[in-house]
Amino acid sequence: MRDLGVGFGRLLEGQRWMARHDRQYGFGLLPGLITLVLYGAALTALAIWGDDAVTWATPFADDWPSPWLGLFRGLLTVVLFALALLLAVLTFTAVTLLVGQPFYESLSERVDRDVSPDGTAPQSGLPLHRELWISARDSLRILVRAALWGVLLFALGFLPVVGQTVVPVIGFFVTGFFLTEELTAVALQRRGVELRDRLTLLRSRKLLVWGFGTPLGLAFLVPFVAVFLMPGAVAGATLLARDLLGEETAEARDADETADGDEDEPVSGS
């Protein structure tokens, strides 16, 4: 259970790091704002025409008596919007990272240099267009996985009681996992860690991943919050990536040296 607290702590540390380096914070908000406007327009359109879409997709229910027709289509409309909202949360990070790739890449490198004992950061050595291609390709693969989970959870949502209690909780943990994958990818791609290896790494530390990603996913459900948390989330994910790879930080090194010094200090007698 300790990993849950560590993961959440990395999320908070990322936000604090960003607060101490606010010069570029304004630029970090722009990609999120652009993505938010696009997603807001799509969800608004779904809210307006969702009923029509459900009616078109369920012609077999046209002759059902009242109130079953209204209840059935009303439930499907709600579930459809909930699924769209889940997918929006899952894909918001990927789209925002693509829009703001140069900034977030630079931000992640700066965090690495700041916390690294030797003040250096791993470099991918790839040109920007190659990094964009890899990021877009991997994000699409993650989106397919997330969509499959979304369809499964959508179907399970029809189960009595379980669909309204257990399934939403599972959905939040799934969201947290994929959010963490997208965010840590910025730092892990610079280290040459491929998608398959990243997923294996994340699965090996699920509690750490959930501690970071699940609270962030819940926060992202609040309008505009994702925009303001995104730069700090990238910073925190860089710290989390170092944890996943077992990389030492300057803070941990100094703490170890202090502890060693205390142990070596002779105890004075009375």
CA atoms within 13 A on the CB side of 149: 20
Alpha-carbon distances, residue 216 vs 6, 59, 250 (angstroms): 14, 39, 26
Rounded to an integer, the average pLDDT of 30-42 is: 86
Instruction: Locate 33 and state its tokens.
Output: 């704002």
* Tens digits of residue pLDDT in 188-230: 998 989 999 999 999 999 999 999 999 998 888 776 788 889 8
Does residue 81 carry a pLDDT above 50?
A: yes
* Tens digits of residue pLDDT in 142-187: 888 888 888 888 788 777 777 778 888 888 899 899 999 989 998 9
SS3 per residue for the chain = CHHHHHHHHHHHHHHHHHHHCHHHHHHHHHHHHHHHHHHHHHHHHHHHHHHHHHHHHCHHHCCCCCCHHHHHHHHHHHHHHHHHHHHHHHHHHHHHHHHCHHHHHHHHHHHHHHHCCCCCCCCCCCCHHHHHHHHHHHHHHHHHHHHHHHHHHHHHCCCCCHHHHHHHHHHHHHHHHHHHHHHHHHHHHHCCCCHHHHHHHHHHCHHHHHHHHHHHHHHHCCCCHHHHHHHHHHHHHHHHHHHHHCCCCHHHHHHHHHHHHHHHCCCCCC
CA dihedral 24, 29, 31, 34 (to 10 degrees): -150
Alpha-carbon distances, residue 135 vs 121, 132, 179, 241 (angstroms): 19, 5, 14, 16
Q: Which residue has the higher pLDDT, 157 or 115?
A: 115
pTM of the model: 0.76
